[in-house]
Amino acid sequence: MDNWERRRLLGMLALAAVVPTRVAAAEAGEVLVISTLYSRHRQVPAYDLAALRRLIDAVKPDVLVLDVTPTELRTRKVWPGKVEYTEVIFPYLDAKGLVAYGSEPDEDLFKELTTAGGESYQAFKAQNPAGAKALDALKQSAYQALASRWQSAADVNSDKTDRLVAALREIEEGLVGGNAGPVQQQWDRHHALRLSDAVKAHPGRRVLMLVGMESRYRVLQALQQGGDVRPVESEAWLRRAGL
């Protein structure tokens, strides 16, 4: 290699070091199912609200499927704990003018399910107050432990996180009993069905579902069982994107 070629190679390496890597959007027709943390976004520096915004910007969705009811989507009013909607998702949606769907049950079914589930939790607390207190402590400790290890959005959306969440849900639903398990399962199937509807209505478009962390693993299971929608593997996609 002569001096001119050596200088040219060194110049190219120097340029590569200072030019930032572009994060490509998801490909046309890809479907991503991504967890959100509600108010925990404010307690997890690795996946705070700014990180969520960077994630959505990187995906560049054509269609959004959101963890809200149709009425909440229309009015832009949500349960106060869903801080990511008022601070990130709704502003993004309005700025981009994207098509969006609410994946939670509409008002009648919402009331039916929340009433049935709420009655089971009230009965559990009344009949087993020590168990209810221990369950709350277990969940808080588990999520604090997870958050202490999360270094990125990819960690939050990892198979490891999903497995732990699934185990916690199994313990919780088994302890509470009654309608707790069936209601949550029906709720998560509803998320999956609305995502399938959105994908079918927009063939070839890039669809991003944002759903609470405790629901994501069951949504993915339902989609796998249905077979008509195949989301990309989120953890690997996010790691490739540097997120």
Among 85, 82, 104, 69, CA closest to 188: 104
Name the band, by pLDDT with cuts 50, 70 and 90, for residue 12: very low
Average pLDDT, the chain: 87
How far is the C-alpha of 218 from the C-alpha of 236, rounded, in Å?
19
In a domain, 24, yes or no: no
77-83 long-range CB contacts below 8 Å, 24 or more apart? Answer: 81/38, 81/39, 82/36, 82/38, 82/39, 83/38, 83/39, 83/41, 83/42, 83/49
In a domain, 8, yes or no: no
Chain position carrying tokens 């709720």: 187
Q: Where are the beta strands (DSSP E) in the chain?
A: 31-36, 63-66, 99-102, 207-212
Buried/exposed 144-165: b ≥16 CB within 10 Å, e otherwise? eebbeebebbbbbbbeebbebb
**Residue 66 pairs with which residues in a beta bridge?**
102, 210
How far apart, in Å, are the Cα atoms of 117 and each of 93, 182, 195, 206, 214? 31, 9, 23, 34, 15
pLDDT tens for each residue of 130-157: 999 999 999 999 999 999 999 999 999 9
Q: Please enumerate in sequence order all residues whose Cβ is within 8 A of that of 93, keeping only pairs 6 or more positions apart, or say none.
A: 64, 100
Among 65, 13, 28, CA closest to 210: 65
pLDDT reported for residue 15: 40
CB 33 within 8 A of CB 219: yes
pLDDT above 90: residue 95: yes
Query: What is the span of the domain harbouring residue 128?
Result: 29-240
pTM: 0.83
In a domain, 183, yes or no: yes
How far is the C-alpha of 188 from the C-alpha of 159, rounded, in Å?
18
pLDDT tens for each residue of 194-241: 999 999 999 999 999 999 999 999 999 999 888 788 999 999 999 999
In a domain, 170, yes or no: yes
Amino acid at 181: G
Q: Please enumerate in sequence order all residues whose Cβ is within 8 A of that of 128, keeping only pairs 6 or more positions apart, or say none.
A: 175
Amino acid at 33: V
In a domain, 72, yes or no: yes
Q: Give mean pLDDT, residues 112-118.
A: 85
Structural domain count of the chain: 1
| Side-by-side strand order, sheet with 31-36 | 31-36, 207-212, 63-66, 99-102
Name the band, by pLDDT with cuts 50, 70 and 90, for residue 160: very high
In a domain, 186, yes or no: yes
In a domain, 130, yes or no: yes
37: helix, strand or coil: coil
In a domain, 215, yes or no: yes
Burial class, 74, CB count within 10 angstroms (exposed 0-12 / middle 13-18 / buried 19+): exposed
